[in-house]
């Protein structure tokens, strides 16, 4: 799509409204807080990515020859903890959600701006604890920290647990803020049926954050109590039950997957509608499928425990419910596909990320059907099949969505245009690199390679696929570095962005790029349906700018 070059004069916006460190660290502007989050999660993304690279390098050869066994165990533990709790969970909600939700519903800010800042500080305190933990030795429990192992390991589990505990409150507060904001702060005319699907997805996400996160916090406290006070909760030697831990852990950690993927689905709905120039097919089904995922997502946790020693009949129930939660995800994919039908499709970079998302998420979702089948799960659980499956969802899906969203809204966030050619190239590199990294792992998993193996010299036949995976990881790494480079480049050298470079629907595009501190110069009133691309693209109708 050709971008509309607009006259851009230096207006007062949220970036230049105030200067100095204080004005950032004490800001209550949701957009500035979003940028604080952006910088912090990018930092953790590259730490987690560095660990991933070391893991892949170790697995290049069957022998454990790059790092020691204990080091390797810490690498995958810290990779998982950093990526899950300090990158993926805050990624889209705390950056894009924070930045966009108030603007999308026509509000000046979130309902609780100071709580929003508090949640960033909690994240930073948690992050600092995590960094301290990593610098002083780290933990080796795996991100799942199963007891009794996590209760007896002599590595720094308590500190890592505390870091996650604190960061969890950041997540709870963000969720609370979003729920209240969506209920109370919508502009006149912004009815629930006119909400962008991005907002619906975040609403569903927030419910999970609010209801699920306290459970992981309690679980961490219980493990810490068991370690330090030797209370018999989970360790059978003290009279506890290790399966109780797994139930509690997955009661949060399964829905947590939806905290990561639902916001990405929201991004994809916005992007596809814009670049197909069409309202999303079956708007209300896509909206309510998010709610359905949030609800059913709480009822499937024990599908992580089919070989753990749970009863046959509870395994049956959880297997069946897992198939139920697959349906709303499938419904979304079908609706996105149908949206393309008779569209007017543009191949801009965010759309390429959206196509990539659908491809990778479909593979990830369909392999979930394998894992939900009891008889298959017994063979493939705790192997690389699972590793591949959840990376397809959490990296293929969530990170693809995050990057697509970053490109889509970058002009709004920064007021600058990124180089389109490089962005398309990066999307392609990420897609190819991702598949080369993780597809071989499905085969490895069915062959039987267990996850979290430092050394596989007992089974050298697994090397070819591991080499392919490591090669892919290198390509993927380049694909992730590229956007950071050209986004930074664009801050200085990029063309100034017009208010609405993509001719997109949505209130956030009806204000300046970058927006003023309170988002709109006058309170917007919504008189149109969501995704009214037919009206936007209709000839001779020039829309009056709103809230200027």
Query: Judged by CB under 8 A, which of 60, 66, 373, 482 binds other proteins?
Result: 373
Residue among 185, 295, 158 nearest 520 (CA): 185
Instruction: Count CA atoms within 13 Å of residue 177 on its CB side.
Output: 28
Q: Between 64 and 113, whose beta carbon lies closer to other proteins?
A: 64
Q: How far apart are CA 311 and CA 180, in angstroms?
A: 40
CB 83 within 8 A of CB 50: no
Q: How far apart are CA 157 and CA 142, in angstroms?
A: 10
Q: How far apart are CA 85 and CA 406, in angstroms?
A: 20
Q: Between 428 and 481, whose beta carbon lies closer to other proteins?
A: 428
Cβ neighbours around 80 below 10 Å, total: 19
x-or-dash pattern for other proteins, window 511-530, by CB under 8 A? Answer: --------------------
Query: Judged by CB under 8 A, which of 29, 140, 499, 508 binds other proteins?
Result: 140
* Listed ranges 117-125, 323-331, 428-436, 478-486: which one lies at the site for other proteins (CB under 8 A): 323-331
Q: How far apart are CA 110 and CA 300, in angstroms?
A: 32
* Listed ranges 103-111, 281-289, 401-409, 483-491: which one lies at the site for other proteins (CB under 8 A): 281-289
Query: Judged by CB under 8 A, which of 244, 331, 471, 482 binds other proteins?
Result: 331
Query: Is 319 near other proteins (CB under 8 A)?
Result: yes
Q: DSSP of 480-528, one letter per residue?
A: HHHHHHHHHHHHHHSPBPPS-TT---SGGGGS-SSPPTTS-SS-----S
Query: Judged by CB under 8 A, which of 9, 229, 342, 492 binds other proteins?
Result: 342
Q: In degrees rounded to 5, what are phi and psi of residue 354?
A: -65, -45
Kindly identify the residues of this chain, within the stretch 35-94, that bind other proteins according to CB under 8 A.
64, 69-70, 73
Residue 213, sorted as left (phi over 0), alpha (psi -120 to 50) or beta, turns out to be alpha
Q: How far apart are CA 175 and CA 190, in angstroms?
A: 20
| Least distance (Å) between residue 454 CB and other proteins | 5
Q: How far apart are CA 355 and CA 505, in angstroms?
A: 20
CA 300 → CA 175, 192, 285, 287, 391, distances in Å? Answer: 21, 28, 22, 21, 19
* Listed ranges 108-116, 173-181, 200-208, 282-290: which one lies at the site for other proteins (CB under 8 A): 282-290
How many residues touch other proteins (CB under 8 A)?
A: 97
Query: Judged by CB under 8 A, which of 30, 31, 194, 278 binds other proteins?
Result: 278
Kindly identify the residues of this chain, within the stretch 446-475, that bind other proteins according to CB under 8 A.
446-448, 450-456, 458-461, 463-464, 467
| Least distance (Å) between residue 238 CB and other proteins | 10
Q: Between 42 and 61, whose beta carbon lies closer to other proteins?
A: 61
| Least distance (Å) between residue 442 CB and other proteins | 10
x-or-dash pattern for other proteins, window 236-265, by CB under 8 A? Answer: xx----xx----------------------
Query: Is 189 near other proteins (CB under 8 A)?
Result: no
| Least distance (Å) between residue 341 CB and other proteins | 5
x-or-dash pattern for other proteins, window 379-408, by CB under 8 A? Answer: x-xxx-------------------------
Query: Is 320 near other proteins (CB under 8 A)?
Result: yes
Q: How far apart are CA 278 and CA 397, in angstroms?
A: 23
Q: Between 21 and 541, whose beta carbon lies closer to other proteins?
A: 541
Q: Between 410 and 533, whose beta carbon lies closer to other proteins?
A: 533
Q: Which residues contact 318 (CB under 8 A, 6 or more apart)?
A: 300, 301, 302, 303, 305, 306
Q: Between 480 and 502, whose beta carbon lies closer to other proteins?
A: 502
């Amino acid at each position: 799509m050709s971008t509309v070059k607009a006259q851009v004069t230096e207006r007062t916006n949220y970036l230049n409204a105030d200067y100095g460190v204080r004005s950032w660290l004490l800001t209550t502007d949701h957009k500035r807080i979003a940028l604080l989050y952006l910088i912090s999660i990018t930092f953790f993304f590259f730490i987690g990515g560095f660990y991933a690279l070391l893991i892949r390098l170790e697995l290049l050869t069957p022998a454990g020859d790059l790092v020691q066994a204990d080091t390797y165990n810490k690498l995958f533990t810290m990779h998982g903890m950093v990526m899950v709790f300090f990158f993926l969970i805050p990624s889209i909600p705390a950056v894009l959600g924070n930045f966009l939700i108030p603007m999308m519903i026509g509000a000046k800010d979130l309902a609780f701006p100071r709580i929003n800042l508090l949640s960033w500080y909690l994240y930073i305190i948690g992050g600092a604890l995590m960094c301290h933990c990593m610098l002083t030795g780290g933990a080796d429990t795996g991100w799942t920290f199963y007891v009794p192992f996590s209760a007896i390991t002599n590595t720094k589990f308590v500190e890592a647990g505390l870091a996650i505990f604190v960061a969890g409150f950041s997540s709870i507060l963000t969720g609370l803020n979003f729920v209240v904001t969506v209920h109370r702060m919508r502009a006149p005319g912004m009815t629930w049926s006119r909400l962008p699907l991005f907002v619906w997805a975040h609403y569903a996400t927030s419910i999970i954050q609010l209801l699920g996160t306290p459970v992981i916090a309690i679980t961490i406290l219980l493990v810490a109590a068991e370690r330090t006070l030797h209370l018999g909760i989970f360790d059978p030697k003290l009279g506890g039950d290790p399966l109780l831990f797994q139930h509690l852990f997955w009661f949060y950690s399964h829905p947590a997957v939806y905290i990561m993927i639902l916001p990405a689905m929201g991004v994809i709905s916005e992007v596809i509608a814009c670049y197909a120039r069409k309202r999303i097919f079956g708007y209300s089904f896509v909206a309510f499928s998010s709610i359905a995922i949030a609800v059913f997502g709480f009822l499937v946790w024990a599908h992580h425990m089919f070989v753990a020693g749970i009863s046959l009949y509870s395994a049956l129930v959880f297997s069946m419910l897992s198939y139920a939660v697959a349906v709303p995800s499938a419904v979304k994919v079908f609706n996105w596909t149908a949206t393309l039908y008779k569209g007017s499709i543009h191949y801009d970079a965010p759309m390429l990320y959206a196509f990539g998302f659908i491809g990778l998420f479909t593979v990830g979702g369909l392999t979930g059907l394998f894992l939900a089948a009891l008889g298959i799960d017994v063979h493939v659980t705790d192997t690389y099949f699972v590793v591949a499956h959840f990376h397809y969802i959490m990296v293929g899906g969530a990170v693809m969505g995050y990057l697509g969203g970053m490109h889509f809204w970058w002009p709004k966030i920064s007021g600058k245009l990124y180089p389109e050619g490089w962005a398309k190239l990066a999307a392609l590199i990420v897609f190819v690199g991702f598949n080369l990294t993780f597809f071989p792992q499905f085969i490895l998993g069915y062959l039987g390679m267990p996850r979290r193996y430092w050394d596989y010299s007992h089974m050298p036949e697994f090397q070819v696929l591991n080499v392919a995976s490591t090669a892919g990881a290198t390509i993927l790494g380049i694909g992730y570095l590229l956007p950071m480079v050209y986004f930074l480049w664009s801050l200085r050298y990029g063309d100034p962005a017009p208010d609405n470079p993509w001719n997109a629907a949505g209130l956030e595009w009806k204000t300046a790029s970058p927006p003023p501190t309170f988002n709109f110069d006058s309170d917007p009133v919504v008189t149109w349906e969501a995704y009214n691309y037919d009206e936007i693209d209709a000839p001779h109708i020039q829309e009056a700018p709103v809230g200027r």
